[in-house]
Structure 1
């Protein structure tokens, strides 16, 4: 499961919203493209937001969004879909990849394979469900969404 090592927490001090697409090649022939950025939720807690595309030889590629809460973040419940909302109010739901248990209580991972191409190039709100009717809301700037869209064209 070495594929996900790169998704570690990294530095706790940066709150930058600059993301860059990077490419990682695995020995199995898998190529991984990722966009990684740290964003604050509505209460000021920092989240690592990683969109990644896994490309395997002679197979359909997968696109997932992983959210990693830094220490002090809320524990996520699984399986619960991630709600994505545009500035015009359009809503998409991304399926939770972790059907039973996540690697840590503050990690969520969601299937973006079908959703990414539908998202508009504008600021989006990611809403992570909590128990009851509460959500953690993370605003994703439009330049990050544009970077995510650039990953679609990579074969």
Structure 2
């Protein structure tokens, strides 16, 4: 009987409760640290480098975003370099078969604060009707900060695709890459 009481009283003694409290606090802080530092952030860049023939290098960012009708689009932003110089800075939009068909018209790009650009199609690349490729060099040089932008896709019935700030940051990372 005295063993049970001793054990019972020990579990609720101030010394034992302080140890438990310390363990709880330590576990809580450890969980917070793991959440903050243990997982990659949504804004971490996902850029890739590909060596091409000769002295050509391709840097790219790949994302899948949804338009206003929740249709998925593959968004490929890439920089092609030759001999250490930027050869092209393009955005390729790829819809899925049976989806909206892109016309060979310019892409309209705007920010919420009213800046607007026109990106012209790159015509030397044969693409299916659900894909389009546009020169983004002028846009990337003039775009200040990392605002969300809206792409107005040139389809029979115009579609809007919102590109979040973390994707713009990723594009800027690609645009600044050296060979």
Q: TM-score, normalised by structure 2?
A: 0.69
RMSD across aligned positions (CA): 2.2
Whole-angstrom distance in 1 between the partners of 2:126 and 2:47: 25
Whole-angstrom distance in 2 between the partners of 1:17 and 1:105: 31
The answer for the alignment partner of 1:145 in structure 2 is: 168
Q: 1:26-63: per-residue Cα shift (whole Å, max 9, x none)? A: 13221000000000000011000000000001654210
Whole-angstrom distance in 1 between the partners of 2:175 and 2:109: 18
Q: 1:101-150: per-residue Cα shift (whole Å, max 9, x none)? A: 8421100000012221212311100111223xx31111100000011111
Matches within 5 A, 1:8-23: 20-23=46-49
Matches within 5 A, 1:61-72: 61-72=87-98
How much does 1:19 deviate? 6.0
The question of 1:114 aligning with 2:138 is answered: yes
Q: Specify the SS of the correspondent of 1:115.
A: helix
The question of 1:49 aligning with 2:72 is answered: no
CA contact (8 A) 2:43 2:166 kept: no
Q: Specify the SS of the correspondent of 1:27.
A: coil
Matched residues, number: 136
The answer for the alignment partner of 1:8 in structure 2 is: none
Q: Specify the SS of the correspondent of 1:110.
A: strand
Whole-angstrom distance in 1 between the partners of 2:65 and 2:43: 6
- 2:101 aligned residue (75, 81, 86): 75
